[in-house]
Structure 1
Amino acid sequence: MVASSLPAVLPGVGATDYARYMRTNELLALQKEPTQWVHPDELLFQIVHQSSELWLKLTRSLLSRALAHVGAGQVGAAELLVDRAAEALRLITEHLRILRSLPPAHFAVIRRALGNGSGFESPGWRLLRSATTELDIAFSRLLSSSRLTAADLYQGQPSDPLYRLAEALVEFDERIALWRAEHYTVATRVIGQGVLGTRRTPVDSLSALINHRRFPTLWEARTALTQASSQCVYPSRGQA
């Protein structure tokens, strides 16, 4: 027996409360209509990038909340939010992989419809960069107020809340690098190497961004600890 549908009670447009709350009429109207496509694979290309912007909007919100917790000294709450933001970046990276199935000849047709548009102009990534800068500054201040350097922190216990937050920030930074690596791989697979993107930017310039760090002090601390350990002189066997 099929249950009878209940009437919509929320304000908005749509036949059901689901449609009204999720605003599905507006959401599903944001893609080109089939009559507007220069190629049917435009739907794939547009949905991948639009959904990425939504995930990046969430990521920015999570990092903003984490920033507020860091400022209040609520380290554990900040860690949980940074972890969730890293998971969002993992999902963005995974769904980018579907563009590997886009034949180069098909994208060559789609590319003509993009104008000068480029992923470098993504508002989501622009806001993400500013969010990580703010979080890096706030975490550095938190360490300073605790009279610690990043190297001091990494010589402490991994169970320490500050240590755990530092590792969450490193994980998030690594997720950015993995996304950039995937982006570069997909781009070269679809349009090749040694060519210019839609903004007349060399596609190979994407590879230079992979090693860029948003939380450089936490990475430099690792280098400093390794260099310090390699300079230690250990007694040879038989010596007291």
Structure 2
Amino acid sequence: MATTAPYEHGRSAARDGAAEHDGGPAACPVLGADEAAAYTDYVHTETLLSLQRPRTGEPAELSFIITTQVMELLFTLIRSHWEHARDALEADAPAAAVAALRRGTGAQDVLAESWGLLATLTPAEFDRFRDALGVASGVQSAAYRRLEFLIGNKSAGMARAHRDQPAARTALEQTLAEPGLYDAALRLLHRRGLPVPASAVERDWRRPYTPDAGVRRAWGEVYADERPGNELLQLAEALMDTAERVTRWRHRHLMAVKRAMGAKPGTGGSSGLDWLARNAEQDVFPELWWLRTGV
């Protein structure tokens, strides 16, 4: 009893609001059942924490599952920011688009750093639960695929792959058929009188974006105007920040796979390391990268 008395006293004092250190902050409040339930109901913590279901006894599998789930949530958050940016561009509001892109880069930074949660995963640890994945692979993520569609990497085949998942298929088809983030930026430049080719202003949005010399010239004019407050130049740099982080994410993915499984084939049947390396080399918003050499 003597050893528990101080704890019981402290809890009672906190409940009464009287337990404070001299000159220090008030004691942490003790919440009632209603307050605790309000938090749980809003965040759905019980549901969230019930979704980690390892299939093996390998401890590293839990890290793998949680990291993957965190990434899926971040995909959704980034998509929201990118869609807001795209819609702002279509509404001739570049400042609002830049603000949305800035919020997106913060989420992108967290996404890229999420690979650090798997940095210590050894090949032996991964092998002990890899079979439990079956053919599951990150390339099958509909949330990630929508991000790729938004930055111009369109693929009707990747949407059809989700034919047995109606909600995912519908969302992918919608994103596939709409202008992407970069498309909306080019359409804004065209409306502002810059020489964006007509083929980049109205085209089949279901097709992947391909670089264009006319688009290079249009962005060149944007970068030639270095006046303070040039909102199109601010937009270009915000797009570059976004593009750089996409490449950073892809490279971190490549390195994580290389460390954990080397050049083995991917679980989804891809060439694994080779496919990731090619993806990491693919520039996002290519004309903006070209300007770094051409200016």
Q: Which runs of 5+ in 2 are unaligned?
A: 1-12, 16-29, 153-179, 195-217
2:37 aligned residue (16, 41, 59)? 16
| Structure 1 counterpart SS, 2:135 | coil
Contact 1:118 1:198 in 2 (8 A): yes
**Match 2:269 to one of 174, 197, 200:** 200
Indicate whether 1:168 and 2:251 are aligned. no
* Residue in 1 that maps onto 2:21: none
Select 1:46's aligned residue among 54, 60, 65: 65
Tell whether 2:103 aligns with 1:87.
no
In 2, Cα distance between equivalents of 1:158 and 1:179: 32
Q: CA deviation at 1:41?
A: 1.2
Matched residue, 1:32: 53
Kindly name which structure, 1 or 2, has the bigger radius of gyration based on alpha carbons. 2
Q: 2:14 — aligned with what? A: 2
By how many angstroms is 1:158 displaced?
6.2
TM-score (norm 1): 0.85
- 1:126-145 aligned within 5 A: 126-133=145-152, 134-145=180-191
Aligned residues: 217
Counterpart mapping for 1:143-162 below 5 A: 143-148=189-194, 149-157=218-226, 159=228, 160-162=230-232
Q: Equivalents in 1 of 2:231, 2:124: separation in Å?
A: 51
TM-score normalised to structure 2 length: 0.70
Residues of 2 paired with 1:146 and 1:191: CA distance? 49
Q: Within 1, Cα distance between the matches of 2:290 and 2:122?
A: 41
CA contact (8 A) 1:184 1:207 kept: yes
Deviation at 1:119, TM superposition (A): 1.2
Structure 1 equivalent of residue 294 of structure 2? 224
Q: Secondary structure at the match of 2:281?
A: coil
Helix, strand or coil: the match of 1:5?
Answer: coil
Identity across matched positions, percent: 32
Q: Does 1:60 align with 2:106?
A: no
Residue 190 (str. 1) matches residue 260 (str. 2): yes
* Cα distance in structure 1, aligned partners of 2:268 and 2:114: 24
CA distance in 1, matches of 2:85, 2:227: 20
In the alignment, the residues of structure 2 paired with residue 124 and residue 90 of structure 1 have an alpha-carbon distance, to the nearest angstrom, of: 17
The letter of the residue matching 1:17 is A
Q: For the residues of structure 1 that align with 2:262 and 2:289, how far apart are their CA atoms?
A: 32
Amino acid at match of 1:154: Y
1:21-78 CA-partner distances (Å, limit 9, x unpaired): 1000000001116xx4341211100000100000110000011111111111111111
Deviation digits for residues 109-139 of structure 1 (CA, Å, limit 9, x no counterpart): 1110001011111222111112223111110
The 3-state SS of whatever aligns with 2:132 is coil
In structure 2, the residue matched to 1:231 is none
Preserved CA contact (<8 Å) 1:184 1:204:
no
Following superposition, the deviation at residue 165 of structure 1 comes to 1.0
Contact 1:151 1:222 in 2 (8 A): no
Letter paired with 1:120: V
- Counterpart residue type for residue 143 of structure 1: L
Alpha-carbon distance in 2 for matches of 1:146, 1:83: 23
**1:236 alignment counterpart:** none
Q: CA deviation at 1:220?
A: 2.9
After superposition, the Cα gap between the structure-2 partners of 1:125 and 1:158, relative to the gap in structure 1 and judged at 3 Å, is: farther
**Counterpart residue identity of residue 142, structure 1:** L
The separation in 2 between residues aligned to 1:106 and 1:120, in whole angstroms, is: 22
